[in-house]
Amino acid sequence: MNRTRRDFLQVAGLGLLAGSTPMSLHAAETPGIRRLNDVVYRTIRTDPKPLELAVDVAIPTTGKGPFPTLVCIHGGAWRTGSRKDLSQRVPLFSNRSFTEILAEKGFVAVSVGYRLSDVAAFPAQIEDCKTVVRFLRANAAKFSVDPEKIGAVGFSAGGHLACLLGTTTPEQGFDGSEYGQQSSHIQAVVSFFGPTDLTLYAGTLLEKTIFGPLLGGTVKERREAFLKASPISYVNKSTAPTLLIHGTADTLVPIVHSRRFHARLQELRVPTELLVMQGESHGWLDPQKIQQTLDATTRFFSEQLKP
């Protein structure tokens, strides 16, 4: 979980992504897709200058909108990574990005920039993601978004945030105030090896290096904070249908996170699937497995979000 951009690079085999040049606001078009990059959804007053948070959007131009929409959340241990990890084009996908692949399947795909832990501690990260959902509903016509059909997909730390989007309600206090007339509720989640119970990191090497900046201490010192940040704490009968994808050899986010989360969803009869990648760690490079997980992702979202 601390391998920065490799959270997603290993999943998709995108070894050439790091070091790519960011695209301009109106990037070159892909047939059938309109891209809008660096779209500011929130401005936070900070010194010495305001902090602008932005999204990159890929919109289908074929077919009849509005379209089901996917909020795409990058990994990086909540302290590194960028929305560009999911919206930059890479040679492996015929010079397409992850968001473009989703747009080709008939989804509006939105790669989210959120505050990292060196800028703000939790719950800033989930507050930003929820603000994006409300921003999309408030601007549904502009982006061809179907406001009734929004899902979230995330990798590692992004999977954790996607699961929080799927489990929490305004009562938990993570929503913030912008676009407050809109709901942050989503209808489906896909999590690639996202941690779901942060208390499991007690006594590990990651406890202080990763969760110290994020949650302000160790599990022993800040147990309630770790529970508050854990998606499994909020699973209920209204939790969004969830697909969990996880490798059995993952040592950064052990598969127990997804197994327990899956079991809890099953107990409450929430639609859920667990795709186990036998022998794989925190991501995989095999092209067939990459395609298998991409196909599972688009199939699950199609079942949950399309008529």
Full strand arrangement of the beta sheet holding 145-155 = 33-44, 51-60, 108-112, 67-73, 145-155, 188-192, 242-247, 272-277
- Cis amide leading into 241 (omega within 30): no
| Inter-residue contact 23 to 35 (CB < 8 Å) | yes
| Inter-residue contact 117 to 213 (CB < 8 Å) | yes
Q: Which of 108, 121, 24 is nearest to 71 (CA)?
A: 108
pLDDT at position 93: 67
| pLDDT of 7 over the 70 cut | no
**Is residue 162 assigned to a domain?**
yes
Task: Report the CATH number that the domain containing residue 118 is assigned in CATH.
Answer: 3.40.50.1820
Rounded to an integer, what distance in angstroms lies between the CA atom of residue 283 and that of residue 211? Answer: 21
Number of Cβ within 10 Å of residue 203's Cβ equals 9
**Is residue 21 assigned to a domain?**
yes
Q: Write the burial class of residue 275 (CB in 10 Å: 0-12 exposed, 13-18 middle, 19+ buried).
A: middle
| pLDDT of 22 over the 60 cut | no
Structure tokens at 189: 């989640």
**Is residue 1 assigned to a domain?**
no
Percentage of the residues of the chain whose pLDDT score is greater than 70: 90
Rounded to an integer, what distance in angstroms lies between the CA atom of residue 79 and that of residue 139? Answer: 29
Helix or strand run (H / E) with residue 158: helix 157-167
- The identity of residue 3, as a single letter, is R
**Which tens digits make up the pLDDT trace of 37-46?**
999 999 999 8
Average predicted confidence (pLDDT) for the chain: 90
| pLDDT of 10 over the 50 cut | no
Q: In 3-state terms, what secondary structure has residue 175?
A: coil
**Is residue 124 assigned to a domain?**
yes
Structure tokens at 169: 């309600």
**Is residue 221 assigned to a domain?**
yes
Rounded to an integer, what distance in angstroms lies between the CA atom of residue 62 and that of residue 174? Answer: 36
- Mean pLDDT in residue range 215-244: 98
pTM: 0.92
**Which tens digits make up the pLDDT trace of 201-225?**
999 999 999 999 999 999 999 999 9
Domain count along the chain: 1
**Out of 4-13, 94-103, 140-149, 244-253, least confident range:** 4-13
Look up the domain containing 214 and give its range. Answer: 6-305
Q: Enumerate the β-bridge partners of residue 277.
A: 247
**Is residue 280 assigned to a domain?**
yes
Structure tokens at 137: 């509903």
Measure the N-to-C terminal CA separation of the chain; round to a whole number of Å: 36
**Is residue 93 assigned to a domain?**
yes
More confident site: 197 or 176: 197
Q: In 3-state terms, what secondary structure has residue 228?
A: helix
Cα-based distances in Å from 100 to 55, 73, 94, 225: 14, 14, 11, 36
